[in-house]
């Protein structure tokens, strides 16, 4: 479970615990079977203090923060705000009070949740050399034959660990996590997941596989920092618009787009992108990032960064012929507006919190879910992107010591319908 507290204002989400429930590795050697549990390295969620200190530290009549704020005000007087900055300020003034009050309400008992949390290994953060390799491989995949790429590769209990994962729609059909290899690197796959490792030129391979009731996307938006970074690609608005979202959407599909705090991107999603996909905007939520002690990771009124990101929710309408009578289930469901998702963020760039549980009740029961531009996998979801396995690399995980008596894990051979919202005891075959 990812939701640890629910309230009319939103949800308190434990991203780290959600990841850690899926990965066990059992070595079958009865009667002395040993199970090794994998957890995401604790240091990636070790956010104890705000990245920028809140104003208010006393120091001989004035504070360093006060002096910093005054300095920033003087700088801002040197030039007028541009239109984008004016719109961003106006937007912040509209939402900041609700975010402040709602977040405070959700994190009131947050420190109690930290009691008993598993500690990290004490090791330094792993350096993953395969990160850029995935993007390079996707570029090479453009030269692979279409016939090979069209086949869906299904992982079963008997499947080998070495598989052709590049440019192939791959499905882990088992209720267990699996350990696989790609170009000499090891990756952990959660149970009942499917994925396509490709760039946007091969996204069409998803068509015909499934129709989805939930589609989330975190586009690589263009911004100044991206322009300065040689290793991080971005897409232009016209490229994002070409994604075949209508062809992937089931009637009444809920579409959720992550948006940066640039108003230009927010306007594009609401006024251009969603209308071009026949998606009607129904709500706007915020992901609020806090430390383990409930403080904003940056001051709420920070000039340069905000401790929140925007989610735009829309409902795929399609044509009346496409919808038929199936939209009765979802089309008449009201999506609540101005909800908050509060969590300790992962230190890794663009590692977003899970949304499956907070979207419950807004879609059909047991929905088919798709994440576009994914950088990690989720149980029960289909994921696509040119970095879709990035945070599944084994070096992001810590292997805990062997555990005795995990017979329920070792003997689990059932293949019952998988519900990622229910507690599971998956394991990895090696």
In a structure prediction context, what are the per-residue pLDDT tens digits for the chain, which is 430 residues long?
Answer: 789 999 999 999 999 999 998 887 544 434 444 567 889 999 999 999 897 776 654 434 443 334 343 444 444 456 788 888 889 999 999 999 999 999 999 998 675 555 445 444 444 444 445 566 777 777 766 665 555 455 789 988 776 767 788 888 999 988 888 888 888 888 999 999 999 999 998 899 999 999 999 999 999 998 665 555 454 578 899 999 999 999 999 999 999 999 988 999 999 999 999 999 999 999 999 999 999 999 999 999 998 899 999 999 999 998 554 545 444 556 678 999 999 999 999 999 889 999 999 999 999 999 999 999 999 999 999 999 999 999 999 999 998 866 543 444 444 433 333 454 444 433 343 3
pLDDT value of residue 222: 80
pLDDT value of residue 234: 81
pLDDT value of residue 52: 74
Beta-strand runs (E) in 317-355: 340-343
Give residue for tokens 């017979």: 407
Strands 381-385 and 194-197: parallel
- State how far the Cα of 295 lies from the Cα of 292, in Å rounded to an integer: 8
Q: Which residues of 398-420 are buried (b: 16+ CB within 10 A; e: fewer)?
A: bebeeeeebeebbebeeeeebeb
pLDDT value of residue 238: 93
Say how many C-beta atoms besides its own lie within 10 A of residue 140's C-beta.
10
CA of 380: how far to CAs of 212, 367, 409, 420, in Å?
12, 9, 19, 6
pLDDT value of residue 31: 44
Please state the domain extents for the chain: 3-49+105-429
Among candidate residues 50, 178, 121, 165, the one with its CA nearest the CA of residue 396: 121
Work out the angle at residue 175's Cα, subtended by the Cα atoms of residues 171 and 180, and round it to the nearest 5 degrees.
50
Among candidate residues 108, 90, 91, the one with its CA nearest the CA of residue 342: 108
Fold of 3-49+105-429: Rossmann fold (3.40.50)
Residues 6+ apart with CB under 8 A from 207: 244, 247, 248
């Amino acid at each position: 479970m990812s939701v640890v507290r629910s309230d009319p204002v939103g949800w308190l989400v434990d991203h780290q615990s959600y990841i850690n429930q899926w990965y066990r590795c059992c070595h079958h050697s009865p009667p002395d079977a040993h199970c090794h549990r994998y957890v995401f390295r604790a240091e990636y969620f070790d956010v104890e203090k705000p990245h920028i200190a809140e104003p208010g530290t006393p120091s001989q009549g004035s504070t360093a923060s006060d002096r910093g704020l005054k300095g920033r005000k003087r700088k801002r007087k040197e030039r007028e705000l541009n239109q984008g900055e004016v719109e961003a300020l106006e937007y912040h003034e509209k939402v900041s009070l609700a975010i402040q009050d709602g977040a405070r309400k959700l994190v009131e008992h947050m420190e109690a949740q930290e009691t008993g949390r598993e500690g990290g290994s004490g090791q330094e953060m792993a350096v993953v050399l395969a990160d850029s390799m995935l993007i390079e491989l996707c570029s090479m995949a453009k030269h692979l034959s279409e016939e090979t790429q069209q086949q869906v590769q299904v992982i079963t209990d008997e499947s080998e660990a070495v598989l052709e994962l590049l440019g192939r729609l791959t499905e882990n059909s088992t209720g267990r996590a699996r350990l696989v290899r790609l170009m000499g690197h090891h990756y952990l796959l959660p149970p009942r997941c499917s994925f396509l490792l490709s760039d946007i030129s091969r996204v069409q391979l998803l068509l015909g596989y499934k129709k989805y009731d939930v589609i989330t996307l975190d586009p690589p938006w263009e911004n100044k920092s991206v322009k300065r970074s040689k290793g991080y690609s971005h897409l232009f608005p016209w490229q994002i618009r070409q994604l075949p979202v209508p062809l992937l959407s089931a009637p009444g599909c809920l579409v959720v787009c992550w948006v940066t705090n640039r108003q230009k991107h927010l306007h594009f999603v609401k006024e251009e992108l969603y209308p071009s996909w026949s998606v009607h905007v129904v709500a706007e939520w915020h992901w609020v990032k806090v430390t383990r002690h409930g403080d904003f990771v940056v001051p709420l009124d920070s000039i340069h960064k905000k401790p929140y990101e925007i989610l735009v929710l829309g409902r795929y309408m399609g044509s009346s012929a496409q919808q038929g009578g199936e939209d009765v289930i979802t089309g008449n469901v009201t999506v609540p507006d101005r909800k908050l998702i509060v969590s300790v963020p992962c230190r890794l760039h663009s590692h977003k919190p899970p949304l499956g549980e907070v979207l419950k009740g807004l879609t059909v029961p047991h929905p088919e879910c798709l994440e576009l531009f994914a950088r990690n996998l989720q149980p029960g979801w289909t994921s696509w992107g040119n970095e879709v396995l990035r945070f599944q690399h084994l070096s992001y995980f810590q292997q805990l010591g062997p555990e005795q008596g995990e017979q329920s894990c070792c003997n689990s051979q059932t293949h019952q319908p998988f519900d990622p919202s229910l507690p599971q005891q998956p394991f990895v075959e090696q």
